[in-house]
A and B are shown apart, each in its own frame.
Chain A
């Protein structure tokens, strides 16, 4: 029992471990309760290839469009995938000898968060995207899978004049945090959303810092700028 309680503190540290336990307790009471702890990240889109030419041999990248057969291979629910296309998202697929390795989604201008009522707005949409749901098929996860998807994504985005990619990661997803570390992402902000059925309280490290929403008609808007990259370079 003690080991079970100590686990989150060991994995996430004292503060995030406490938040994790609170979240588990809330969800145990009702599925309408929960604590969402997010970190917002940004990375520059490199113009240098991520993989050397011999590693990238046989790789191909192309947009996966609504109705393409690869859509059925994606684990997300059909209505989620439809809603992504509806909000103008683009899906880039990575293929090895015509077999899908993985994919990544991009949104331009804004991204509507689907877990809480929040809209992420890119301040410089001509040079920025919001990426989400990077997925690598299990058989490619322990090889070049993740790097291959980003290898193609960098090229795809650079060709469209995109210089920065933003993303949201859950504080408790350590694998995703490690992946972001490897790729040189920087954290631009954090936010905590306390969800009590229809009521959502947000505390964030960027404007508007605090928000209270009582229903679906009000979504808080967070503005994403890549300034953190300049300040650390």
Chain B
């Protein structure tokens, strides 16, 4: 989880110029670090970086607003991919 979290945190800092620590369970929309535009950019970054493909239905606040939830989704998608292949 740490490696994924680190990459996602770094991306959020770069995208938003947020300089502070990012807690994995922090709601980044509620805290104003992310908005409805860069949350989509974050999902795109996660797709490319971790080689997964999200369904449109998965692009919701519950999965994207907290990095811990996004990491869980990435892992679930990877596991699904691995079980199919």
Contacts and interface: CB of A to CB of B under 8 A. Distances in A.
Contact of B61 (A54, A59, A143, A147): A143
Given A142-B29, A143-B59, A144-B59, A55 B65 contact: no
Contact of A57 (B36, B39, B55): B55
A154 to B, nearest CB: 15
A54 B56 contact: yes
Contact of B56 (A144, A175, A183): A144
Nearest to A141: B36
A141 B40 CA distance: 11
B6 interface: no
A143 B37 contact: no
A54 B35 CA distance: 21
Interface residues of A, number: 22
B38 interface: yes
A179 B37 contact: yes
A69 interface: no
B36 A142 contact: yes
B37 A178 contact: yes
B15 to A, nearest CB: 10
B1 interface: no
B37 A182 contact: yes
Given A142-B29, A143-B61, A182 B56 contact: no
A56 interface: yes
Interface string B9-52: 00000000000000000000100000111111001100100000
Interface of B: 29, 35-40, 43-44, 47, 53-57, 59-61, 64-65
Interface of A: 51-52, 54-59, 96, 136, 141-147, 175, 178-179, 182-183
21 contacts: A52-B47, A54-B53, A55-B43, A55-B44, A55-B56, A57-B55, A58-B56, A58-B57, A136-B36, A142-B64, A143-B64, A144-B40, A144-B56, A144-B59, A145-B36, A146-B36, A147-B36, A147-B37, A175-B35, A182-B37, A183-B37
